[in-house]
């Protein structure tokens, strides 16, 4: 007996929703229905339990396409995702006072953003260290190829954003699993340069479709057709941005481990291979006997045996999972808990006192600027996990003890 609900609208491909027991707002359903009307959708759209309204396309959706890609469905945080590493440390090896550890991590990884009138952005490197140079060398040939064709992309935050966290729901956490083993987990993407690439090609798709855009169910669903110059340029650019995002997380993880070694005197190893997975991306995959493009907008690949990361909200549980290879979901699972209210709503509804109470067990910021990330602004992560138990199995359950926010 399958778990998904079927949403079918006129002149549209089916929408299969793994949302049993979790709220789905009407706006998300309407947005999904518009995407499903596009002529190049392959078979059906798969919807994850963390689904909510997004820009252009719905967050928590898996959009399979043949012969076209929708840049706004991939979004502007191209390659955003997670990395997690299990260490040999136990909870008893952590200091009683975790503030110095959080402070050292905050010093090791640029995070946040400074107002435009500041001379230096605290979210960028002022003088990138040697480690960042080494990672940038891996990205430089592809970047050179990109700016040879689109020179304006050189004037973006690229090199100085490599190995930096960003803002919003991006975070670095020290967590404990069910056996009190210490894990390091973080969430970020392709930063300023990925944002610039995403915005540029979203606009390019709209321009390419000027004659036809009025016939689209939503102008944000403007697409690039396979075989056109801009399509291939976008595929190349988006793959580069996804590689930037992957290396960005690796570089941060390296610096977080170095920061921990300054505070924790006991020698430790990171003996489990790091899980490094995107959840905002597009790539070519084989499904139902066809080579197609799969866009995961707030969704994680969950092929059989593949490890993934599903974080809860700030102060809630997170999960390390193993994919079950469910083809009906295009081998995918959720990328998190999913919001139930906007950032603006959360700031209106909750107070600093609410934030302090909700994150009492976590060493983290508890000021007005992070109220929009309060756990109550998100869906119940346990309900989300139950709704997708035919997509993934739980390997580890994690709880945060330190959280660094941008």
Each residue's pLDDT tens digit, 117-135: 666 788 999 999 999 999 9
Residue 2 has pLDDT above 80, yes or no: no
Each residue's pLDDT tens digit, 12-23: 999 999 999 999
- What are the E-state strand segments in 126-279? 171-176, 181-188, 224-225, 275-278
Each residue's pLDDT tens digit, 151-188: 999 999 999 999 999 998 899 999 999 999 999 999 99
* Structure confidence at residue 116 as a pLDDT band (50, 70, 90): confident
pLDDT of residue 114: 78
Residue 377 has pLDDT above 70, yes or no: yes
User: pTM for this structure?
Assistant: 0.95
Mean pLDDT of 266-287: 91
35 in Cβ contact with 41 (< 8 Å): yes
The whole-chain average pLDDT of the chain stands at: 94
Angle formed at CA 201 by CA 251 and CA 142, multiple of 5 degrees:
40
d(CA 364, CA 88) in angstroms, rounded, equals 23
pLDDT of residue 1: 54
The fraction of the chain above a pLDDT of 70, given in percent, is 98
d(CA 150, CA 230) in angstroms, rounded, equals 11
d(CA 164, CA 178) in angstroms, rounded, equals 29
pLDDT of residue 117: 63
- What are the E-state strand segments in 73-206? 81-90, 171-176, 181-188
* Structure confidence at residue 198 as a pLDDT band (50, 70, 90): very high
Residue 272 has pLDDT above 80, yes or no: no
Beta-carbon count within 10 A of 27 CB = 11
**Which residues are annotated as catalytic?**
335
Q: For 130, phi and psi rounded to 5 degrees?
A: -55, -40
d(CA 251, CA 135) in angstroms, rounded, equals 7
Each residue's pLDDT tens digit, 291-339: 999 999 999 999 999 999 999 988 789 999 999 999 999 999 999 998 8
* Structure confidence at residue 215 as a pLDDT band (50, 70, 90): confident
Mean pLDDT of 209-231: 89
Residue 5 has pLDDT above 70, yes or no: yes
pLDDT of residue 351: 93
Residue 101 has pLDDT above 60, yes or no: yes
The mean-pLDDT minimum among 161-175, 191-205, 269-283 falls in 269-283
């Amino acid at each position: 007996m399958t778990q998904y609900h079927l949403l079918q609208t006129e002149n549209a491909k089916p929408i299969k929703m793994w949302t049993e027991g979790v709220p789905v707002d009407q706006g998300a359903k309407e947005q999904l229905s518009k995407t499903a009307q596009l002529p190049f959708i392959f078979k059906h759209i798969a919807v994850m339990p963390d689904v909510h309204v997004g820009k252009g396309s719905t967050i928590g959706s898996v959009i399979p396409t043949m012969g076209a890609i929708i840049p706004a469905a991939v979004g502007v945080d191209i390659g955003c995702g997670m990395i997690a590493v299990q260490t040999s440390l136990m909870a008893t090896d952590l200091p009683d006072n975790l503030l110095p550890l959080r402070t050292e991590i905050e010093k090791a990884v640029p995070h946040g953003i400074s107002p435009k009138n500041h001379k230096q952005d605290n979210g960028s490197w002022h003088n990138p260290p040697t480690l960042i140079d080494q990672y940038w060398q891996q990205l430089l040939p592809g970047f050179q190829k990109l700016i040879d064709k689109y020179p304006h992309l050189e004037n973006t935050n690229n090199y100085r954003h490599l190995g930096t966290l960003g803002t919003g729901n991006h975070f670095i956490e020290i967590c404990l699993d069910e056996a009190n083993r210490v894990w390091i987990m973080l969430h970020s993407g392709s930063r300023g340069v990925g944002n610039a690439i995403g915005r540029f090609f979203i606009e390019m798709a709209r321009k390419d479709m000027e004659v036809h855009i009025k016939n689209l169910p939503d102008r944000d669903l403007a697409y690039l057709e396979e075989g056109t110059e801009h399509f291939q340029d976008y595929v190349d650019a988006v793959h580069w941005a996804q590689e930037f995002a992957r290396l960005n997380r690796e570089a941060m993880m390296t610096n977080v481990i170095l920061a921990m070694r300054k505070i924790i005197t006991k020698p430790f190893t990171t003996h489990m291979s790091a899980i490094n997975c995107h959840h905002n991306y597009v790539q070519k995959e084989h499904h139902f006997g066809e080579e197609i493009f799969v866009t995961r907008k707030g969704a994680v690949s969950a092929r059989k045996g593949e490890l993934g990361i599903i974080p809860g909200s700030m102060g809630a549980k997170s999960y390390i999972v193993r994919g079950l290879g469910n083809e009906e979901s295009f081998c995918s699972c959720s990328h998190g808990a999913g919001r139930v209210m906007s950032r603006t709503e959360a700031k209106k509804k909750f107070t600093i006192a609410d934030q302090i109470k909700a994150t009492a067990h976590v060493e983290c910021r508890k000021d007005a600027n992070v109220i929009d990330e309060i756990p109550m602004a998100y869906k119940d992560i346990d309900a989300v996990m139950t709704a997708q138990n035919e997509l993934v199995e739980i390997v580890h359950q994690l709880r945060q003890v330190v959280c660094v926010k941008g």
